[in-house]
């Protein structure tokens, strides 16, 4: 069972956008982009007081950069990021930013890079709580055997993103990935 994540520290502006991987919830605060959430997240955010639907410069830049990413013209993001998490989660999320377009790392590689080689499962758990998927590319983290493992947006979305980046070969139509 998943638990709701709460975003803290003041007003949050949010909006929904359509994307090739489904509807996304974007949220920003005074300090930057705080959330990109898939339609059926593992750990849904809990909207509370201080949330207002709207637009701001951070959300506009995020929409533009995500559109460029999905068009294949953007391989890195240049946004003010403001994820909130534990110190270990923040270290994991900073490490995610080092994994480039078209690359994959295993959870073990991430843990070793962080200087904590025995923390593979903790790295996986922290990645599962990544509030900024796609921008902080947790989809680029795979199993040690090369398998696609856990992803908050679902394995078809992970497969689509890795295919889009050229890791898994030729892109498949998004409708095919979600066919039942």
Q: Could you give the residue numbers annotated as active site?
A: 138
Kindly report the three-state secondary structure assignment for every residue of the chain.
CCCCECCCCCCEEEEEECCCCCCEEEEEECCEEEEEECCCCCCCECCCCCEEECCCHHHHHHHHHHHHHHHCCCCCCCCCECCCCCHHHHHHHHHHCCCCCCCCEEHHHHHHHCCCCCCHHHHHHHHHCCCCCCCCCHHHEECCCCCCCCCCCCHHHHHHHHHHCCCCCCCCCHHHHCCC
């Amino acid at each position: 069972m998943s638990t709701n994540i709460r975003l803290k520290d003041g007003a949050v502006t949010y909006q929904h956008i359509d994307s090739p991987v489904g509807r996304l919830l974007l949220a920003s605060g005074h300090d930057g982009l705080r959330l990109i959430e898939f339609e059926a997240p593992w750990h849904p955010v809990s909207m509370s007081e201080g949330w207002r639907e709207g637009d701001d410069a951070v959300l506009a830049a995020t929409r533009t950069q995500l559109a460029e990413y999905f068009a294949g013209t953007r391989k890195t993001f240049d946004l003010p990021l403001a994820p909130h998490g534990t110190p270990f989660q923040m270290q994991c999320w900073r490490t995610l930013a080092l994994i480039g377009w078209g690359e994959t790392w295993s959870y073990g590689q991430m843990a070793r890079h962080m200087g904590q080689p025995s923390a593979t499962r903790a790295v996986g758990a922290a990645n599962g709580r990544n509030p900024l998927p796609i921008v902080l590319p947790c989809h680029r983290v795979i199993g040690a055997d090369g398998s696609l493992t856990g992803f908050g947006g679902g394995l078809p979305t992970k497969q689509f993103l890795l295919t889009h980046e050229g890791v898994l070969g030729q892109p498949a139509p998004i409708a095919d990935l979600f066919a039942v």
